[in-house]
Structure 1
């Protein structure tokens, strides 16, 4: 309010042609009273010895209440169930109500329906006041009364007139101050805004809250378009919650260029009266997260560290930005989900791609190791800043104006930690970081705005400084306005209702809302009150305060910046047929192996983005082993087992011999696997994993024992390099068995989802791995069967196709009716025809890759379930385009 009145005065001076003037003296009530008392102290009218040694701010008061409550509950067996922080906030509010509204403690004990909570609160209050008395402290509410008492006795000259602006309700404590002022001859006036034109308020009903945003923004934009000199305001009851949404919509219409980073802090035509918690400012959020990461000295989840790693404002955030993104991918790939600072440092030093980051983290770790376990907040205050400096905060780039302002406020809060020495004593680093973070949450930060924006976004309790040309008030639903009663739980509800304390009951809230409403009605000549008809599936009602106002409908709604560029808004985008990518050049290598051909068969754009451009989703780290790693271990154990063995050896083994052999294979596989890891698995984890592998593989071997055709294992994990239509393909065949007649059986182990071989008969083979092995990799050999081996608990099975029956259990040959349902006899008369189909189809897919076919084309969206570049395919936009095309076609047909 004070700021608004100063702006009004500034506009008046400019309109009068003034170039210099004394600023208008505007204060909050507390600011003005504090200035009078400080003047009296400096003049000696109030002896320094009579001044309280300290005034507790809101956080310090809450901290003292919390300490008192925790001491009171120290011996309670249920103490861990109490929310001491929440109780402290409720106690501080109850104490303030007693002081402001002159509620004597005795009245609480005789009041009707006095509860145990009230009795407990009074005990806490006595302990709180005792602690304050011993230290010479006063909480802000008692300090205000102390100032009033001093002011009544001073001979200090006071202004002849004081105007009160924005006081919708004067509480007893404020009235005590006004009584003192009037007793000393000060004329106290209630200042009100009255528009030059009689207001004509209306109400409007919108479908939902989103429509309310849009209607309010459209109203403001249109009003400023019609009259750029107009003075407007949008009043929002839940401004803290809705601030970002409103700002985004206003920027989309009034400042679309602000979407560019270089214009993010450009002057706006609007200004918010309410800022955001300091902790939400990016440069401060990074500082707090760095402190939390290192101060905790405990494990952290990668999903918490990853955003911090990629943030600016620390270490070499500009020069190593790309390298840090690569390092993040490495962390996800190599390390488990839960990591600690020391392991991050070790990995960064080993990776050698982020040397500055590694150096900063090492310096910070060394600094932490030298810190004492506990210290006073005043000591931690300087150490925190030194620690952040070792981490390179606030980064390489110079700070913008808003960032610099938030940094200065943060530095003030860090220095202010020294005030907590007497309250906290010696504490750990983690505790002081927790309290600093809480201070940053409580501290509302609003960057200094430039100029005098014509549009003000206000909270419901804020008053404007002058009559406006237009006012829009949002959220006029009955569950929002009047606000719901919220009596303090530590004071008797009946007592609060009887004296009319804030939030006591519906009547108090209604009277308060009515006072606000009357102020709003006298703030502008044109006023619109809006409300939402529904919220999700819940139907809403209008506030009774506006129920009698005329209702207007069909209001225009603002569109987001993206929506403004839709064809419906007149925007005509250029259509470019870009499904053909650059063709492969001679010698160009495309990685991916069979995965490349599979992706191309399912959706050419998938293959292009992932394998030619190298786009890849970030891995999701897990603690322990993920499913892919566990599958690889199964492959390793089977490879170890089959070395030097065939079906005859397997048949001759006793159960004990087989289990021993599998156990030895698992031991060898796990030993090799553990040696290749960045951090070895624990002995206990290895033992559990070995038990799992032995049980799983032995169960699989029992299925292998049912094979009728004798075989030998010709190769395991056989590496093959192919050239398919000029595309180099490198692949590994899990296993090749040789039958007695020399023919080969190709086996591919699967430990996950059930494999599908029905697509092998289609022109676009979406599971091409085994067909490539049979038709191209082993072109000079005679292949008798290709199959998947599903090595999975309780689901062990072979699935595939064979040249003849009984080569593998339950694997049918080409003539079987089940197979004929897939491979019809006309197209696939025999086994060679199947192999030829595979060669032809796979080469055709490879040719598509070679010429650059990269269209977003697929048969079933379900086939894209494992696509790593799904966002790049832009399927929702594609679907929307099809819907619009169909709609236009339908309209055209109808009109015809």
Structure 2
């Protein structure tokens, strides 16, 4: 029976809403093609419903007819039911604790969700009383106690949840069939046509059995009438490659199909077992490819502009507009509570915060200078905002007038005490309105839908009467955030899109002109079993609960595979060979398909297009005009640094130049490194290093010699460190909470203690200088160098550079030089000797016995990584003795003199300085990890560099 032949009293029962909507559209199209104009005007719509929608309609009809009703006081939503399970769980935990049998749970809220899932599965799949088994493990026992408490609460209040409502509805249907069969028949369809069901649940089986007993004809779904004329298999490099190939294939398929049928009738499917994993790569690939074909515009915010539709909804709390609303509520419902700077920064620079964006960005930049890890609204207004008065402020923070007025008004609002649910929602709406959310900018269509979805979610939350009656704002807010996180938002789109992206389940029962199934690796398909931990495993297997074991998942996957083969004539199956560095294998089920290898299509990205534009066929180019002649020129030199000027960043620019000249130019000479200061909740890594330097500087300024260090008792050493730590931490007491400061102080004290214990094991030494600032001139540029430490050992100098991160002396010996920041200390020491009038200092600066790193790391401990002229200078395995390297015939330093090595290092530093002075800004690096922390990372345009390297390699191979 075709859809156009379907009678009005036929129920088309669909596995999901998407399939129901698709069937209705097909019916309308069929009527438009075959029926007369008069009939089309009055033609009844197809009755295509999910089982949940049918139950709702039927219960309403039964109640309206007076035949009966499901009796209950209130129907709980799943969110409310999980909340009640959580309350029951907390009560059980409290009882156990009182009995001395404490149950440790990391996340009670997540546990409550699994308990509620067990409740639903138990009520539908398992026999009554299974909890009375003689042996129950602790998880089963916990479920038994929590579910009994939950059930008693439901019965006491005469409430139902979704699974109890289903059981009650089946009971009512069965009772009416026995007591009033004739009256019931008028409320049932004549026949039921099933669509898209891969598996029948127990409740659905009971319903179908009752329908059959009532005389309703049940028509099982027949396999699709399409057979794959072409099945192809593709092993992609990774997910990105897989998505790009699917995008190119979708466009090619669309062009082919448009030649034989109208665009509105075309249906190209892209599906995957885990579509959440492929959602973003697919969107990126399709947007990029379709823009380059000239069929989509760059303005991708306009949903109407796209040729594809993504059915996978996203959590409402992941939408930027809603994120701003939730952040506003967090910051301003409790204005006197301090929050992280990251939250304030995100709120300030959001396009959905009211006021001029430029001023707000400037305010964010200014706030970063204070390095406050936490900020409250009163503190912001009292200490930072410039009211154009004579009072002194820490910063002249000038905010947009409308925003400042809103902040001042909100600062005076107090939602104290306990609030009802409605009062809390009213407070939320008042706060958002007062703060001008979502800004003054005109919203796009999709943004408007997001705003409406949020308001609807607030109203829906307010209507829930199954939660606690009254509680504080601090208690309501996380509950609202959890609720918003569980709401899925699916933007409404206009018209039919020829390319449909969906999950495996949504594709059930649908027919496609062409279909690509992604992600069929052995880890994804069949799906891994995921049994509920609170139901005995033998019962899950015996009663075939969803996701119970691998065998059930294998059968389920094979059933879906068969359905997909009957759903299209053009089928492509693919999997990624790599996920990160992990190698993946194809799903064993792919061997059941008789397919040919997919011929990989050429996917040209926007970056590749820009690089290859000289060779593009401009007559068929949708992106570049015919007259846009582009001449490519090599431009890898910036302006020279004038003689006598200071190098930006001191010796840091030398390190950057050695890794990548363009990175050094962008980060230091153009100032990308000095843009936004980072504000962290703990001490920044740079601050941690600075504080370690400062404490050790104060310690050695006081001790002077190793002898003085060894003479200290443990108590005296502890007192010495405490005193200097207090001096250092007093400088940052306003930036962090007291508890974090104490933790950081204890951590740094332990590092310093371990380091000084290591220093006691060295050969006898005296400290010559700490943190000495030296100005040196290299290639006509002045560099500011701060030498962490110089020790005197037997009349010779030992240079030590403290590092709180990773560092190795091997970098000093590599060609080209990889540790110029260490080698430049040789120039600094020579400069110290030249400037001093003291003969001892002059002599010391010319005699160097070693150079290297002092490593202080919380995880790896303390150690030296250094190069010494002779042995026994420093303890540990990280010491390289140059005299031994010079004696080794296999060493690259065989028969090299120590003085020659030091001179060579100084010359390499001068070469780097000369490159900087000459404006050398080549895009050149040894490996991509060398530039991964560049502040101007995006400006390095690595995708285009990869394409250049690829083309160069291809030309070389040819």
TM > 0.5: yes
Match of 1:59 among 79, 84, 95: 79
Q: TM-score, normalised by structure 2?
A: 0.70
2:120 pairs with 1:96: yes
Aligned residue in 2 for 1:287: 325
Render the CA deviation track for 1:290-324: whole Å, top value 9, x for unaligned.
55567899876667776666544335472345325
Taking the aligned partners of 1:654 and 1:73, their CA distance within structure 2 comes to 54
Match of 2:49 among 14, 21, 27: 27
1:641/1:661 contact within 8 Å kept: no
1:406/1:445 contact within 8 Å kept: yes
Aligned residue in 2 for 1:265: 303
CA distance 1:672–1:273, change in 2 (3 Å): closer
1:148-297 → structure 2 map (5 Å cutoff): 148=170, 149=172, 158=187, 161=190, 163-168=192-197, 169-178=199-208, 189-190=219-220, 194-195=224-225, 199-200=228-229, 202=231, 204=233, 206=235, 210=239, 213-228=243-258, 229=263, 230-256=266-292, 260=298, 263=301, 265-291=303-329
Taking the aligned partners of 1:114 and 1:356, their CA distance within structure 2 comes to 64
2:479 pairs with 1:435: yes
Q: Which protein has the larger Cα radius of gyration, Structure 1 or Structure 2?
A: 1
| TM-superposed deviation, 1:58 | 1.5
CA distance 1:678–1:73, change in 2 (3 Å): closer
Taking the aligned partners of 1:394 and 1:727, their CA distance within structure 2 comes to 51
Taking the aligned partners of 2:257 and 2:155, their CA distance within structure 1 comes to 59
CA distance 1:120–1:79, change in 2 (3 Å): closer
Aligned residue in 1 for 2:881: none
2:234/2:575 contact within 8 Å kept: yes
Q: What SS does structure 2 have at the residue aligned with 1:244?
A: helix
2:291/2:298 contact within 8 Å kept: no
Taking the aligned partners of 2:301 and 2:22, their CA distance within structure 1 comes to 26
Match of 1:614 among 671, 688, 701: 671
Taking the aligned partners of 2:932 and 2:309, their CA distance within structure 1 comes to 46
CA distance 1:698–1:760, change in 2 (3 Å): farther
2:694 pairs with 1:632: yes
Moved more, 432-441 or 773-782: 773-782
User: Aligned pair count?
Assistant: 850
Render the CA deviation track for 1:842-882: whole Å, top value 9, x for unaligned.
99876755553333568999998997667766689768745
| TM-superposed deviation, 1:558 | 6.3
CA distance 1:160–1:745, change in 2 (3 Å): closer
Match of 1:553 among 594, 597, 606: 597
Aligned residue in 2 for 1:445: 489
CA distance 1:83–1:552, change in 2 (3 Å): same
1:283/1:313 contact within 8 Å kept: yes
Render the CA deviation track for 1:261-284: whole Å, top value 9, x for unaligned.
554634322223332222222222
Q: What SS does structure 1 have at the residue aligned with 2:599?
A: coil
1:327/1:354 contact within 8 Å kept: no
Aligned residue in 1 for 2:59: 37
Q: What SS does structure 2 have at the residue aligned with 1:204?
A: strand
| TM-superposed deviation, 1:194 | 4.5
CA distance 1:654–1:780, change in 2 (3 Å): closer
Q: What SS does structure 2 have at the residue aligned with 1:456?
A: strand
CA distance 1:880–1:511, change in 2 (3 Å): closer
Aligned residue in 1 for 2:875: none
Match of 1:105 among 125, 128, 134: 128
1:601/1:765 contact within 8 Å kept: yes
CA distance 1:479–1:451, change in 2 (3 Å): same
Taking the aligned partners of 2:346 and 2:669, their CA distance within structure 1 comes to 27
| TM-superposed deviation, 1:613 | 0.6
| TM-superposed deviation, 1:170 | 4.0
Aligned residue in 1 for 2:369: 330
Aligned residue in 2 for 1:11: 29
Aligned residue in 1 for 2:411: 366
Taking the aligned partners of 2:866 and 2:938, their CA distance within structure 1 comes to 35
Q: What SS does structure 1 have at the residue aligned with 2:500?
A: strand
1:445-464 → structure 2 map (5 Å cutoff): 445-463=489-507
| TM-superposed deviation, 1:95 | 3.9
CA distance 1:156–1:671, change in 2 (3 Å): same
| TM-superposed deviation, 1:412 | 1.9
2:95 pairs with 1:75: yes
1:665-680 → structure 2 map (5 Å cutoff): 671=727, 674=730, 678-679=734-735
| TM-superposed deviation, 1:446 | 1.0
Render the CA deviation track for 1:824-853: whole Å, top value 9, x for unaligned.
99x99xx9xx89x98x99998767555533
2:424 pairs with 1:394: no
Taking the aligned partners of 1:789 and 1:204, their CA distance within structure 2 comes to 56
| TM-superposed deviation, 1:449 | 1.7
1:485/1:505 contact within 8 Å kept: yes
Match of 2:461 among 406, 409, 417: 417
Match of 2:353 among 297, 308, 314: 314
1:236/1:460 contact within 8 Å kept: yes
CA distance 1:478–1:200, change in 2 (3 Å): farther
CA distance 1:481–1:518, change in 2 (3 Å): same
Render the CA deviation track for 1:71-122: whole Å, top value 9, x for unaligned.
2343112233386445544443444345445x5524x267797767656645
CA distance 1:162–1:218, change in 2 (3 Å): farther
CA distance 1:478–1:775, change in 2 (3 Å): closer
2:775/2:782 contact within 8 Å kept: yes
Taking the aligned partners of 1:761 and 1:505, their CA distance within structure 2 comes to 57
1:771-850 → structure 2 map (5 Å cutoff): 771=827, 774=830, 783-786=842-845, 849=916
Q: What SS does structure 1 have at the residue aligned with 2:634?
A: coil
Q: What SS does structure 1 have at the residue aligned with 2:305?
A: coil
| TM-superposed deviation, 1:670 | 6.1
Structure 2: gaps spanning 5 or more residues: 1-18, 386-393, 617-629, 857-861, 870-885, 888-892
2:952 pairs with 1:885: yes
Aligned residue in 2 for 1:806: none
Taking the aligned partners of 1:44 and 1:653, their CA distance within structure 2 comes to 95
Taking the aligned partners of 1:560 and 1:325, their CA distance within structure 2 comes to 39
Q: TM-score, normalised by structure 1?
A: 0.74
CA distance 1:450–1:514, change in 2 (3 Å): same
CA RMSD of aligned residues (A): 6.0
